[in-house]
Structure 1
Amino acid sequence: MNNATLRRLLRFHFRSLSTESLRTPQNSQHDCGLLQYNKRIRRLTKLGQVQAARQLFDSMPRRDSVSFNSMLTCYIQNNQLNEAKSLFDSFQDKNVVTWTILLSGYAKCGLMNEARILFDSMPERNVVSWNSLVSGYVHNGDIRSAREVFDKMPERNVSSWNSILTGYCRCGMVKEAREVFDRMNERNSVSWIVMISGYFEVNQHRESWYVFLLMLKSGMMPDQAIFVVGVSAIMGLNDLDLLGSLRTMVIKLGYEGDVVVGTAILNAYMRNGSLDEAYKFFQGMPKRNEYSCTSMIASFAQCGRLDDAIALYESGDCIKGVGSKSTILAAYAQRGNICEARRVFDEIRCPNVVAWNAMVAGYAQNGMLEEAKAMFLRMPIRNAVSWATMISGFVQNEKFKEALELFAELHRTGEAPSHSGFTSALSACATLGDVELGRQIHTLTIKTRCQHNPYVGNGLISMYAKSKNMGDVSQAFSTMQVRDIVSWNSLIAGFSENNMLDDALDTFQKMPKRDEVSWTTVISAHVQAGQFENALKMFLQMLRTGMKPRDFALISLLSACSSTGTTKLGKQIHGLILKNGFNSCLCVCNALITMYFKCGSLDGFSVFEDMPVQDIISWNAVLTGCAQNGLGEKAIRIFEQMKAAGIFPDEISFLGVIGACCNAGLVDKAQAYFNCMRQIYGISPMTPKYSCMVDLLGKAGELYEVQTLTDGMPVESD
């Protein structure tokens, strides 16, 4: 800002000042002029005009403590701590407010040592000063120091109690939070919101709802914010009847037309899987905003109902803003229609960082990394999500080194990675087996106070487990302040991956709550350890609890049947697959095909033919089955059908058809496919394919061809 602009700003702010009041010595006129000056400084503070506020402050013919405190607040709110400290030191008539403003500034910037030294130096303190120190510790994640200060307070008000309550809830320490909450003599709406939200954040949804009911019994009438957290509690309970009761209360208290409350109810229907009910509610909402529309479109897209998402976007019910356009372009990208996604992006006149992030993610999801990177580099503004999106894109496309290089570049900018950025980087370290870099990232999570986030903690467990550092796994798990069910499942999976079945079982028994993933993981651990009978017992126990089987549990059991050749049990699992609707699940059907063929049953063909969609794994399973059962002619027909269907054969496809030809003694066909693999498809044969051909040619007495083939092998023979 140049001097001419500053002069114009000052003239504007002086316009309403009485020049007479500045000249006359009367106190009332002085006070009036001073009041106007102070108001202007506060207004400039809200606008972020720090330089203009300072020039106005310097031009004042007379200043009081309010003037100094207003200017000090201006510096603090605009993160100019050095200037604030300089002004503080120059002021002789400091009062308790002056000290408290600077104390809050130190706390805001994370300088709690400086804040404590300043607090100890204060000539006098009031409850606001004490609250500022407690809030500072809470804001910076030091709940122990916050509690020590809280316990020493000579007097407390409701803000004091709310601060320590918030600190415990942020750390997931809801037991301690509830003890504080129950001791409170006075509670306001903030107290109730913090306690209800605290239980919700650690997935104790029933307790969250009980606190909401306790609030109603106390006589506290819900407002907009309380209704929103009440809806969140119901969301976790998955109880539509309760949601209906809350809607009745919303109507009685006149919040039916409140768009914020309405959108919260809409999200509750969607989170509970009642998408049709959600859309019905959406259509009946008296008021909608862009967020309501965006939420509805996003839910349709996430459930695979892309046509419904597009229809809603193109209808008159949708408010077409940057948010809804960003959501629909993500939906187009999810379908693979990246051109349509780009068309929507180009329609946005001034795309915000969310729209840019959605477009980068769209390219990355469709394997177009060069386009994603070009879009990322073009972004006028990047936030932590932008970096995390690009890092995740590299990981999804198995460019793990590039992902870690980008993470390092983010670190060099001085910006803290998001939780998602950390988990993607840890995943890359796990895949590359670079545990030392993983440790460095772990250190960075501690420095940025992200190590207590459940997603980051789970990423650390998985990274150390894949690197076979189970001591570090146990330590990462034990230091987590909040352990969700994913944390426990990750720990079980880590033990399973490292063949530590007893530890996996012990962890499973200690779990406070189990879900389908917990059971699936421990069943898979038994299968991996070769304890097929125990795996089946665990599976039956899971069914007795009323838990529905997951696809991976079924795949593990089918793998056990394949290993033991128990066709009868495999058929029973097949019946369970049909009963639970998994007959349209690709990975389950592929495992079923493999099981039948490994058990010597040709029912694998029926499973393949009944599949609504087949991928290359399905075709390869059939080809491998033909090879295992000596069905050479059948394998040739299947292979030709696969090519006719537009499926591009890979190494496993050729290994299956060549192996089938070898087992059936079809020398000419095997040689033709072997040559075709190299000459037409550009696939370099590996040792197993050469072994097949050597075996076939040797049995046929073609020793010259065997010699020629082995002499020309590009790989070392085993």
Structure 2
Amino acid sequence: MYQALRPKSVLPFLTQISRLSSAIQIWASPFSTKFPQTIADFKTHLISFFNSKKNPIGSPELNVIRDSDYELELVSVLKSCSSLKAISQGRQIHALVLKTGHDSNVFIKNSLISMYAKCGQMGTAEALFGTLSRFDAVSWNIMLGAFVKSGQLDDARQLFDKMLEKGCVAYTTMIMGLAQSGRWGEAVTLFKDMRIMGVIPNNVTMASVISSYIHFGGISDAGVLHGLAIKLGLRDFVLVSTNLLHFYCVCSSLKDARKLFNQMPEKNIVSWNVMLNGYSKAGLVDLATDFVLVSTNLLHFYCVCSSLKDARKLFNQMPEKNIVSWNVMLNGYSKAGLVDLATDLFDKIPGKDVVSWGTIIDAHVQIGRLAEALILYSAMLSAGLGPNDVMIVDLVSACGGQMAVSEGEQLHATIVKTGFDCYDFIQSTIIHFYSACRKMGLACLQFEVASKAHIASWNALISGFIRNGMLGRARQLFDQMPERDVFSWSSIISGYSQGRHANVALELFRTMVAAGVQPNEITMVSVLSAIASLGVLKEAKWADEYIKNNSIPLNDNLIAALIDAYAKCGSISNALNVFNSARDKVTTVSPWNATICGLAVHGHAALSLTVFEALERTGIQPNSITFLGVLTACCHVGLVEAGEKYFESMKNVYKISPSIKHYGCMVDLLGRAGRLQEAEEMIRNMPMEADVVIWGTLLAASTTHGDVAKGERAAERLASLDKYHGASRVLLRNLYADAGRWQDVLQVQKAMHGQEMIRSAGASGVA
């Protein structure tokens, strides 16, 4: 029977088995590569496997296929036992093998031997091996490998000597075991025997033999092994060439070592360090220094490619580190946002230079730790080092971002004192800082003393005016500009778009294009925002085509703006087309938010929540806007329990503090469901004061469900916030009317007349 399981015999069944609805597809077999990840998962899958035997396929002509399939699954499940070290489950499978009569199958028995050996049950493995009625090369090699791996080299050698046919696998296993155990002479002798017997070694054999020769061989042996590796086509394997490299260095033949190193098609960290150690131990300081520079370049390469694990490994193994090496590693941690690791490394740097200080300061700035950044800046000054222009820009920008006026002004004084204010980009940075801190008078003063020859200062002040709601001043300055670039146009278009002057924004865009200025992604985001506020689908489609025809790069913000524009123009299908075409490329939450919110507003609550669940699987972190869309979706279809679950998840899982809008959604959700008591309690327990929207929501829900007491309390709070809130009086009047409290209805109407909130019957607003 075992012949049916050999690889060549399995192939004819593959096309037939692929058409079957196999009872189980979870094992690492020719039909599945999915291993259970934990013992708990494995137990569940094991139950399925046992059950699958109880449910035959049913067709008599497929019995042979079914049996072969089942045997293959037995082998695969045993592999899973081995990988998970699941000895208890492995014994259960062994019992099943005995029960079903599959213990005569050599392939299955080999798998059992391997499983017991890998689980550390060598006695059982050896006993099973002794019960084999016929031995094949696989059986011998499995047992040999088990002895070697468990450190029983004498038992392994006895078994090896009994083998009638010894192939490359057997020789390699034995040689590698001897070499790793320090029995180098025996390993070399066995290799010579292998060559006499005509067995061709592989790359692992060669690497093991070379590592053995290193301990007692000489330069002539290195040359012979090098030649043999070339003859066998094994030299280009990195393991072989690295061991040869080490051999040459041990023999002090650095010229041969460097020649081999230069010829290596692939080098790893070990290769580089073997060569560097060779130079260092030989006292060749200049060559070692040159090699340190090369190693530093490799370190930089790893950091740029975000291979920080490889970078750290190389860094730790470098016997000589210069300040450049330290700074490259520090920069790698900083760029990856690993500020604590960067700080630990920074503290260990001998002879820190201004680059070291600048890197660690920038690392803290990037994650919003301005206080720590300023402390480091002071420490740098105390160490006798002065700032450079990049550091100054980073710190001033951070002060603007956190509205740290006093600290920013001190840095401004340093800029003037050190003469950095002669740089145009620093002048514009100062204008940005004062604008961000709402000190527009100082921003204008800086603009006056700055060079007008550079457009950056003009753009900074225009951006500042727009940020502070001074659109008229921004337009006045824009019109005075001697020249305008794409940033000038983008700023003014953004100002009009944000200021709800969509038509003016679009007109400016057309003027910009007519002037020959090519818009960028930032420009198009503002244009799409203007189109979204107008709600004109034709314009949204035109903007979409313009982006494609002009090859404007689609970053995440632009994708989100396109989705939002289509959704607000009423075409959710086009919005979904944009999202689906880009969802696998985006790296931020913005496009997901636009889709979730767009679907929620259009009443597609189920799909909105499905998109949110897909977002959670990507690993991209949702934010407060995401949950606003999710809660809105729950409100639209009355999913109270789901809404409560998402609200709690937002706080406890994602650590996002709910805003007043999130609380408003929850009050609306509870109110629509008639759970007015819970809605009122939520309002009372909010960490902020409820606004007119939330009290109005509770009043509307009270009117719908006829709860006069809660409606009166909500109306009273509304009146205290806005005594002219006419909609609340209408709701209160309707609430009293539904309750039959006509006297109260008359009082509300009288109050509304007194405040001119309603017109007299029969009056019209049209003359």
TM-score category of the 2 structures, normalised to the smaller one: 0.5 to 0.7
Which residue number corresponds to residue 631 of structure 1?
604
Which residue number corresponds to residue 642 of structure 1?
615
**By how many angstroms is 1:522 displaced?**
2.3
Rounded to whole Å, the distance in 2 between the matches of 1:716 and 1:501 is 32
- Confirm whether residue 608 of structure 1 aligns to residue 579 of structure 2: yes
Rounded to whole Å, the distance in 1 between the matches of 2:498 and 2:338 is 36
Q: Alignment partner for residue 454 of structure 2, among 484, 497, 519?
A: 484
Rounded to whole Å, the distance in 1 between the matches of 2:295 and 2:489 is 40
- Confirm whether residue 521 of structure 1 aligns to residue 491 of structure 2: yes
Rounded to whole Å, the distance in 2 between the matches of 1:419 and 1:374 is 25
Which residue number corresponds to residue 544 of structure 2?
574
Change in Cα spacing, 1:518 to 1:352, as seen in structure 2 (3 Å) is farther
**By how many angstroms is 1:387 displaced?**
1.8
- Confirm whether residue 662 of structure 1 aligns to residue 635 of structure 2: yes
**By how many angstroms is 1:632 displaced?**
1.3
**Higher mean Cα deviation, 379-388 or 458-467?**
379-388
**By how many angstroms is 1:659 displaced?**
1.1
Which residue number corresponds to residue 419 of structure 1?
389
**By how many angstroms is 1:328 displaced?**
4.8
Change in Cα spacing, 1:352 to 1:462, as seen in structure 2 (3 Å) is farther
* Structure 1 unaligned regions, length at least 5: 1-306
Q: Alignment partner for residue 527 of structure 2, among 557, 562, 579?
A: 557
Rounded to whole Å, the distance in 1 between the matches of 2:342 and 2:372 is 13
User: What is the SS of the residue equivalent to 1:451?
Assistant: helix
Does the Cα contact within 8 Å between 2:540 and 2:569 map onto a contact in 1?
A: no
Which residue number corresponds to residue 434 of structure 1?
404
**Higher mean Cα deviation, 638-647 or 601-610?**
638-647
TM-score between both structures, scaled by the size of structure 1: 0.52
TM-score between both structures, scaled by the size of structure 2: 0.49
Which residue number corresponds to residue 439 of structure 2?
469
Amino acid of the residue matched to residue 380 of structure 1?
P
Which residue number corresponds to residue 671 of structure 2?
698
Does the Cα contact within 8 Å between 2:528 and 2:562 map onto a contact in 1?
A: yes
Which residue number corresponds to residue 99 of structure 2?
none
Change in Cα spacing, 1:674 to 1:470, as seen in structure 2 (3 Å) is closer
* Structure 2 unaligned regions, length at least 5: 1-265, 274-288, 692-767
Q: Alignment partner for residue 372 of structure 2, among 375, 393, 402?
A: 402
Which residue number corresponds to residue 357 of structure 1?
327
Q: Alignment partner for residue 422 of structure 2, among 439, 443, 452?
A: 452
Which residue number corresponds to residue 182 of structure 1?
none
**By how many angstroms is 1:320 displaced?**
7.3
Change in Cα spacing, 1:354 to 1:680, as seen in structure 2 (3 Å) is closer
**By how many angstroms is 1:526 displaced?**
2.4
Does the Cα contact within 8 Å between 1:430 and 1:466 map onto a contact in 2?
A: yes
**By how many angstroms is 1:601 displaced?**
2.1
User: What is the SS of the residue equivalent to 2:414?
Assistant: helix
**By how many angstroms is 1:624 displaced?**
1.0
Deviations 1:628-653 (A, max 9, x none): 11221111222222233444444332
Change in Cα spacing, 1:446 to 1:651, as seen in structure 2 (3 Å) is closer
Does the Cα contact within 8 Å between 1:628 and 1:660 map onto a contact in 2?
A: yes
Q: How does 1:682-693 map to 2 (within 5 A)?
A: 682-693=655-666
Rounded to whole Å, the distance in 1 between the matches of 2:598 and 2:589 is 14
Amino acid of the residue matched to residue 326 of structure 2?
W
Does the Cα contact within 8 Å between 2:521 and 2:553 map onto a contact in 1?
A: no
**By how many angstroms is 1:534 displaced?**
2.4
Which residue number corresponds to residue 645 of structure 2?
672
**By how many angstroms is 1:572 displaced?**
0.9
User: What is the SS of the residue equivalent to 1:456?
Assistant: helix
- Confirm whether residue 598 of structure 1 aligns to residue 571 of structure 2: no
**By how many angstroms is 1:705 displaced?**
3.3
Amino acid of the residue matched to residue 628 of structure 1?
V
Deviations 1:97-117 (A, max 9, x none): xxxxxxxxxxxxxxxxxxxxx
Change in Cα spacing, 1:562 to 1:481, as seen in structure 2 (3 Å) is closer
**By how many angstroms is 1:365 displaced?**
1.1
Rounded to whole Å, the distance in 2 between the matches of 1:661 and 1:382 is 56
Which residue number corresponds to residue 624 of structure 2?
651
**By how many angstroms is 1:377 displaced?**
1.8
Does the Cα contact within 8 Å between 1:454 and 1:483 map onto a contact in 2?
A: no
Structure with the larger RCO, 1 or 2 (CA within 8 Å, 6+ apart): 1
Change in Cα spacing, 1:583 to 1:607, as seen in structure 2 (3 Å) is farther
Amino acid of the residue matched to residue 539 of structure 2?
L
Does the Cα contact within 8 Å between 2:532 and 2:566 map onto a contact in 1?
A: yes
Does the Cα contact within 8 Å between 1:597 and 1:604 map onto a contact in 2?
A: yes
Amino acid of the residue matched to residue 636 of structure 2?
N
Rounded to whole Å, the distance in 1 between the matches of 2:618 and 2:292 is 41
Rounded to whole Å, the distance in 2 between the matches of 1:320 and 1:672 is 61
User: What is the SS of the residue equivalent to 2:420?
Assistant: coil
Rounded to whole Å, the distance in 2 between the matches of 1:530 and 1:675 is 35
Amino-acid identity (%):
34
Amino acid of the residue matched to residue 580 of structure 2?
E
Deviations 1:273-299 (A, max 9, x none): xxxxxxxxxxxxxxxxxxxxxxxxxxx
Which residue number corresponds to residue 385 of structure 1?
355
Aligned-residue CA RMSD in angstroms?
A: 2.9
Rounded to whole Å, the distance in 1 between the matches of 2:397 and 2:610 is 42
Q: How does 1:232-251 map to 2 (within 5 A)?
A: none
Deviations 1:473-518 (A, max 9, x none): 2332333358533333222212222233343334334444433222
Rounded to whole Å, the distance in 2 between the matches of 1:716 and 1:456 is 42
Does the Cα contact within 8 Å between 2:452 and 2:458 map onto a contact in 1?
A: no
Rounded to whole Å, the distance in 2 between the matches of 1:590 and 1:548 is 21
User: What is the SS of the residue equivalent to 1:468?
Assistant: coil
Change in Cα spacing, 1:556 to 1:631, as seen in structure 2 (3 Å) is same
Rounded to whole Å, the distance in 1 between the matches of 2:544 and 2:504 is 19
**By how many angstroms is 1:347 displaced?**
5.5
Does the Cα contact within 8 Å between 2:521 and 2:554 map onto a contact in 1?
A: no
Rounded to whole Å, the distance in 2 between the matches of 1:508 and 1:715 is 41
Rounded to whole Å, the distance in 2 between the matches of 1:660 and 1:392 is 41
Rounded to whole Å, the distance in 2 between the matches of 1:507 and 1:349 is 59
Change in Cα spacing, 1:583 to 1:466, as seen in structure 2 (3 Å) is closer
User: What is the SS of the residue equivalent to 1:493?
Assistant: helix
Which residue number corresponds to residue 622 of structure 1?
595
Amino acid of the residue matched to residue 665 of structure 1?
G
Amino acid of the residue matched to residue 604 of structure 1?
A
Amino acid of the residue matched to residue 624 of structure 1?
C
Rounded to whole Å, the distance in 1 between the matches of 2:291 and 2:467 is 47
Does the Cα contact within 8 Å between 2:361 and 2:376 map onto a contact in 1?
A: yes
Change in Cα spacing, 1:389 to 1:512, as seen in structure 2 (3 Å) is farther
Rounded to whole Å, the distance in 1 between the matches of 2:567 and 2:466 is 27
Rounded to whole Å, the distance in 2 between the matches of 1:422 and 1:448 is 11
Change in Cα spacing, 1:472 to 1:705, as seen in structure 2 (3 Å) is closer
Amino acid of the residue matched to residue 688 of structure 1?
K
Count matched residues: 404
**By how many angstroms is 1:660 displaced?**
0.7
Change in Cα spacing, 1:713 to 1:378, as seen in structure 2 (3 Å) is same
**By how many angstroms is 1:588 displaced?**
0.5
Which residue number corresponds to residue 307 of structure 2?
337
Amino acid of the residue matched to residue 386 of structure 1?
S
Amino acid of the residue matched to residue 610 of structure 1?
S
